[in-house]
């Protein structure tokens, strides 16, 4: 698995790179939040996350992207709901 790094203007590399979108993991977990495909589909079904689907006209298959900011907001919302209610979500 490739690590995601960005290059700063001064030439140094940084592991603090946060993308605008990242792909839905094919298998295993994503490198940012540690969630699998089914977790993201579940969050979308519950209305907590918006997935972006890209495909060419006429194609059945395509690419599913996850907006980083939306995923972060959904996880924060779930975290706050969990601590307020004291229940598992």
Could you give the number of structural domains in the chain? Answer: 1
Would residue 2 count as lying in a domain?
no
Would residue 23 count as lying in a domain?
yes
DSSP labels, 11-55: S-EES----SEEEPPSSS--TTT---HHHHHHHHHTTS---EEE-
The predicted model scores a pTM of: 0.72
Would residue 8 count as lying in a domain?
no
Q: What is the pLDDT of residue 63?
A: 96
Would residue 7 count as lying in a domain?
no
Would residue 79 count as lying in a domain?
yes
Would residue 4 count as lying in a domain?
no
Domain that holds residue 34: 19-85
pLDDT values of the chain reduced to their tens digit, one per residue, 89 residues: 445 554 555 555 555 788 999 999 999 999 999 999 999 999 999 999 999 999 999 999 999 999 999 999 999 999 988 777 665 55
Would residue 41 count as lying in a domain?
yes
Q: What is the pLDDT of residue 86?
A: 60
Q: What is the pLDDT of residue 53?
A: 96
Would residue 80 count as lying in a domain?
yes
């Amino acid at each position: 698995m490739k690590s995601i790094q960005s290059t700063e203007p001064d030439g140094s590399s940084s592991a603090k790179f946060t993308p605008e979108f990242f792909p839905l993991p094919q298998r295993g977990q994503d490198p940012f939040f540690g969630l699998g495909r089914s977790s993201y589909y579940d969050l979308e079904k519950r209305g907590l996350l918006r997935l972006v689907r890209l495909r060419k006209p006429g194609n059945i298959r395509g690419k599913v992207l996850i907006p980083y900011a939306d995923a972060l907001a959904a996880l924060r919302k779930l975290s706050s709901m969990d601590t307020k209610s004291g229940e598992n979500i």
